[in-house]
């Protein structure tokens, strides 16, 4: 069986939970003997001319423009047939629909980010473009995969016309064989993830300021950012600087590392005394699963 995945930020790029989830899924299916091809929309700037990804476990290519999705897939497949089209990024929805029709293949879409829930929580009106794209794809998909029961319930309530096609398939992480469990943890509070109010980023900064003020030996590390939106990331950092201006006693004990790769994240989780996950909403929450796999305490 040959599965064509349309996603974003596929390894070696890494921009968060979607990267981890999709790469892990592709690897897991490969271990079962399923072939896979991947077209990845890289949202960061600076793509070089050679867009083929040199990975020995999957055939993959990256694109810088969603309009190139279908053509990139055809070039990658070189006349080969896809037995299943799996969409992970709504921006590539039109390409996924066209490819499924061309190959007479079923179309599956995984809801990694529930734009309907986010729009409701943020009070956005009219509906944002991401939500409109997601709704259009869901109407055409044969199956809609949601990684948690709570997110699936919310989706069924908001989109009753697609409720009978919603299935729950949780994500997983590769814990390896004999993964070490660190018993010597530091007085270190860790935040990992994208900078966003829904992720509780500002809540974390305000809370950890109080924690550090009461525990002079403790430190905090913020590992994350907005790699596809550097200007917005700079705004977040200025916001923190302004907020910490009156907290000189703790300011130097909060380190912002930027986005880290998987190996560095594992090392950080092994050191963490506490992994703080202040999200107001998660479709799944990969950081919690990754922290559990390293036996890190979670709040």
What is the SS3 assignment for 149-196? Answer: HHHHHHHHHHCHHHHHHEEECCCCCCCCCCCCCCCCCCCEEEEEEECC
Give the C-alpha separation, 6 to 38, whole Å. Answer: 6
> What does DSSP say about strands 2-8 and 59-63: parallel, antiparallel, or unpaired?
unpaired
3-class state of residue 63 by DSSP: strand
Long-range interactions of 46-54: CB distance < 8 A, separation 24+: 53/10, 53/11, 53/12
Structure token pair of residue 106 = 């079923």
- State the pLDDT at residue 289: 92
- State the pLDDT at residue 240: 80
Residues paired with 221 in a beta bridge: 190, 255
Structure token pair of residue 4 = 């064509």
Single pTM value for the model: 0.90
- State the pLDDT at residue 81: 94
**Residue in this structure with the two tokens 């703080």, named with its chain if needed:** 276
- Helices then strands, counting H and E runs in the chain, come out as 11, 12
Per-residue pLDDT of the chain in tens (299 residues, 90 and over written 9):
999 999 998 988 777 889 889 999 999 998 899 999 999 998 664 455 445 566 777 899 999 899 999 999 999 999 899 999 999 999 999 999 999 999 999 999 999 999 999 999 888 888 899 999 999 999 999 999 999 999 999 999 999 999 999 999 999 887 766 556 666 899 999 999 999 989 999 899 889 999 999 999 999 999 998 877 888 988 988 888 777 766 777 888 999 998 888 889 989 999 999 999 999 999 999 999 999 999 999 99
- State the pLDDT at residue 122: 87
- State the pLDDT at residue 50: 46
Q: Which residues contact 1 (CB under 8 A, 6 or more apart)?
A: 34, 35, 83, 84
- State the pLDDT at residue 49: 43
Give the C-alpha separation, 286 to 41, whole Å. Answer: 21
């Amino acid at each position: 069986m040959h599965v064509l995945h349309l996603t974003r930020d596929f390894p070696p790029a890494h921009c968060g939970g979607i990267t981890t989830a999709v790469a892990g899924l592709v690897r897991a299916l490969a271990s079962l003997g399923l072939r896979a091809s991947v077209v990845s929309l890289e949202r960061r700037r600076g793509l070089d001319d050679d867009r083929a990804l040199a990975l020995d476990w999957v055939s993959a290519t990256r694109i810088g423009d969603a309009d190139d999705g279908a053509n990139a897939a055809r070039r990658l497949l070189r006349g080969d047939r896809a037995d299943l089209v799996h969409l992970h990024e709504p921006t590539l929805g039109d390409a996924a629909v066209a490819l499924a029709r061309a190959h007479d293949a079923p179309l599956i879409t995984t809801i990694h980010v529930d734009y309907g829930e986010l729009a409701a929580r943020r009070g956005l009106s009219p509906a944002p473009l991401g939500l409109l794209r997601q709704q259009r794809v869901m109407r055409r998909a044969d199956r809609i995969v949601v990684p948690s029961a709570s997110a699936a319930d919310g989706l069924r309530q908001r989109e009753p016309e697609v409720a009978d096609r919603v299935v729950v398939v949780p994500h997983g992480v590769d814990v390896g064989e004999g993964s070490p469990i660190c018993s010597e943890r530091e007085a270190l509070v860790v935040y990992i993830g994208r900078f966003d109010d829904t992720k509780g980023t500002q809540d974390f900064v305000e809370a950890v300021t109080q924690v550090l003020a009461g525990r002079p030996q403790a430190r905090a590390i913020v590992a994350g950012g907005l790699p596809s939106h550097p200007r917005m990331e700079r705004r977040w950092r200025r916001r923190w600087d302004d907020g910490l201006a009156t907290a000189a006693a703790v300011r130097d004990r909060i380190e912002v590392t930027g986005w880290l790769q998987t190996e560095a994240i594992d090392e950080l989780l092994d050191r963490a005394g506490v992994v703080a996950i202040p999200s107001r909403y998660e479709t799944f929450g990969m950081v919690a699963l990754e922290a559990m796999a390293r036996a890190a305490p979670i709040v």
